[in-house]
Amino acid sequence: MSKPVVIEVTRGPLVESRHEGVAAVVKPDGTVVGSWGDIDARILPRSANKPIQAMAFVESGAVEKFGLGDEHISLACASHLGEKRHVDTVRAWLKRVGLSEADLECGVHPPRLQSSIEALVRDNAQPTPAFNNCSGKHTGFLTTAVTYGEPTKGYIKYDHPVQRRLRTVMSDLCGSNADAFAYGTDGCGIPTLATPVRLLARAMASMAEPSRLSNKHAAAAGRIRKAMNAEPFMMAGTGSFGTRINEALPGVVQVKGGAEGVFCGMLPTLGLGIALKMWDGAGRAAEVAMATLLGHLGVLPGERREEMLHPPVKNVVGLLVGEMRASKSWLG
C-alpha cells in the first residue's frame, strides 16, 4: 500500500495536529494513475457525489420540461450555505414544479453561513427546509419524480425509483453494481453507499471524460460540469473553497466536497477523476488535500494558490501562529 495522504497543522515550531487520509486519481477505464493509502477501502461519499446524483435528474428531461438552467443544476449538486439566493431559487423552483417546501424530506437545520443565521434572527424568522444545505439536491429528486409521474412522498427511501435510479447511474459510472453496496443514512435522509475510493474516483473520471458512457449519460455529465463552473456560487456560497475552485478554471476543474472529510473532483481536460477521504472526517484537511492534488496535477488555480495550499492558522487577534500543509511524506 502506498503512503497515505497526510496533512499537518503547525503552531509555532510544532506540528500540533495531523490528518491522515486516502486518495485515488483514476481514468474512466479504471486505470489508477495516483494512489495514496488503501484505495480499496470503502467510504461513504456523503455530499461529494451529488454531481453523480444529479445525473438522473438531468437525464429525466426535467431541465427542458420546466425551463430550468445552470443555476438549478448547480443547486442540485450543491451543499449550499443557505444564503438568500440559494433559498429563493429553491422556493421558486419548487413552485414551478407544483410543489412546496412541505414536500422536502431533508429536514431543517440552521443555514451554515453565520451571516445567514443572523439575518434570520434579525427578521425574527425560523429556518425552513429550503435552508437545508441539501435542499437543491432534494428539489432535483422531487422534480425527477414529478417528471416521471412517480409519487413524491418517500423519495428519500432506498427502494423509491428516484434512489434506485441513482444506483443505476452509479453502477454505470464506476463499473460495479452499486445495488450490492452496503449503505448508511445520510444527514439529509437518503442512502449513502459504501463505495471503494478507487471506484468513486472512477465514477468521477467517467463524468469528467464520458466517451465510454451512453450518449444519454455523456450529455448529462457534460451539462452538469458546465453548470458547476457556470454557477459556482450555487454549489456552496460565500467564502467556500469549492465555490472558489469551481469558478476559477471553467472546463478544467469541477470539485465537490462532502461531510466527514470527503472530496471529489473531475478533470475533463486530463480525463481524470479524484476521490479522497480524510479518515478522521476533517473538512479542513480534505480541502488542503484537494488543493495539493490539483497542484500536483497542474490544475490548481493561480489565484490565492498559496492560501489554498498553506491555509494560515491565526489566533483571535489575527496573528499568524501556524499553517496547514501537505506533509513532506506525502506531496509537501
CB within 8 Å of 190: residues ≥ 6 apart: 141, 156, 163
If one asks whether residue 283 binds its own copies (CB under 8 A), the answer comes out as no
CB within 8 Å of 122: residues ≥ 6 apart: none
The residue written with cell numbers 449550499 in the block is 80
If one asks whether residue 227 binds its own copies (CB under 8 A), the answer comes out as no
Q: How many residues does the chain have?
A: 332
Give 54-83 as a DSSP string. THHHHHTTHHHHTT--HHHHHHHT------
Closest distance of CB 13 from its own copies, Å: 5
Task: Give dist(CA 295, CA 305) in Å, integer.
Answer: 9
If one asks whether residue 84 binds its own copies (CB under 8 A), the answer comes out as no
Q: Report the residue from 227, 285, 288, 309 that binds its own copies according to the rule CB under 8 A.
A: 285
If one asks whether residue 260 binds its own copies (CB under 8 A), the answer comes out as yes
Site string for its own copies, 17-36 (x = CB under 8 A): xxxx----------------
Q: What is the size of the binding site for its own copies (CB under 8 A)?
A: 50
- Among residues 46 and 244, whose Cβ is nearest to its own copies? 46
Cell numbers for 306, please give them: 498559496
Angle at 120 between CA 114 and CA 124, to 5 degrees: 145
Closest distance of CB 190 from its own copies, Å: 10
If one asks whether residue 286 binds its own copies (CB under 8 A), the answer comes out as no
Q: How many CB atoms lie within 10 A of CB 207?
A: 28
- Among residues 92 and 182, whose Cβ is nearest to its own copies? 182
What residues line the site for its own copies (CB under 8 A)? 9, 11-14, 16-20, 42-44, 105-110, 114, 117-118, 121-122, 132, 182-189, 192, 194, 260-261, 278-282, 285, 315-319, 321-322
